[in-house]
Amino acid sequence: MVDYRPLQGELRALALAKNAIIIAHNYQRPEVQDAADFTGDSLELSRTAAATDAGIILFCGVHFMAETAHILSPDKKVLIAEIRAGCPMADMISADDMRRLKEEHPGALVVAYVNTSAAVKAETDICCTSANAAKVVANIPAGREIIFIPDRNLALYVEKQTGRKLIKWEGFCPTHEYITAADIARARQEHPDAVVIAHPECLPGVQEMADSLQSTSGMIRFAKSSPAHEFIIATELGLNHRLAKENPDKKFYSPTRKAICPNMKMTTLPKAVQTLKEERYEIRLPEEIRRKALAAVEAMVRYS
């Protein structure tokens, strides 16, 4: 067993000395989550980044998340702990693709999942996360065409929740698509009393078998307030750390060991320490892109 306490102590001391806040996504390595000031889902992280009065934000997550923090808080120094940590789903649509799509559907409102680049957000009317996507779409006046990008699975979930027809994009999360309906069926057989909670990035067959579809923090809240004692969790394996820590009397099972996001796992404690020490890997955007993306991101943060 590695003793992470010395490095965690070093990171905390640096944060104190530099007036920095450390925020981490729910999929980060346990030892990174445990050293952070705040751990949450994409929406909570954006809200935290917007509200902080720290001078430096050290972001432990993937690139689009740190970009979103910079869009909301341009006066803060936003550092990403590991510069190579991207999101393959976000890379599945470009700003050029967006412009073409808008040309094909003039008059349509564009809703973009926050898992997109800033250049794509700049072409967007309103952003959303998995926590508020259905709410965002439900509030769009009936009859207005809606482009929803890039996640085809989240789009399907939103269509079911709202009864609206969406113009979709064929993007997806490779990590969530590793989880199959057969994995859920097997897990259910092994744990017949367990409640199945899935992330809306999961495949349609997995969504259909779930008792509840939730964002990552939504899963934690659901498990806490549920009278059930056993849960099958269909999302990236990193979430199990908080689930187990915050619900010591409950049991959590993973339908497959394959659901690991390699990008989320690139951030390690030594890298986080080094990044904050050197104040390296600062995320900055051309002001025109940031400004264009801001309204869409601010609207997302308001839909909590």
Question: Do residues 283 and 83 lie in contact, with contact meaning Cβ atoms separated by under 8 Å?
Answer: no
Closest CA to 184 of 194, 173, 170, 172: 194
Question: Do residues 111 and 147 lie in contact, with contact meaning Cβ atoms separated by under 8 Å?
Answer: yes
State how far the Cα of 124 lies from the Cα of 135, in Å rounded to an integer.
Answer: 17
Does 41 bind ligand 13P (CB under 6 A)? Our answer is yes
Contact stretch for ligand SF4 (CB under 6 A) within 82-90, 124-132, 139-147, 276-284: 82-90
Residue 28 binds: one of ligand SF4, ligand 13P, none (C-beta under 5 to 8 A by kind): none
Number of shown-chain residues binding ligand SF4 (CB under 6 A): 13
Closest CA to 199 of 178, 185, 230: 178
Residue 88 binds: one of ligand 13P, ligand SF4, none (C-beta under 5 to 8 A by kind): ligand SF4
Residue selected from 8, 33, 117, 130 as contacting ligand 13P according to rule CB under 6 A: 130
Residue 129 binds: one of ligand SF4, ligand 13P, none (C-beta under 5 to 8 A by kind): ligand 13P
Which residue's CB is nearer to ligand SF4, number 68 or number 263? 263
Which residue's CB is nearer to ligand 13P, number 117 or number 129? 129
Site map 211..250 versus ligand SF4, x via CB under 6 A: -------------------------x--------------
| Interface residue list for ligand 13P (CB under 6 A) | 26, 41-42, 115, 129-130, 173, 201, 215-216
| Interface residue list for ligand SF4 (CB under 6 A) | 62, 87-89, 115, 173, 175-176, 201, 236, 261, 263-264
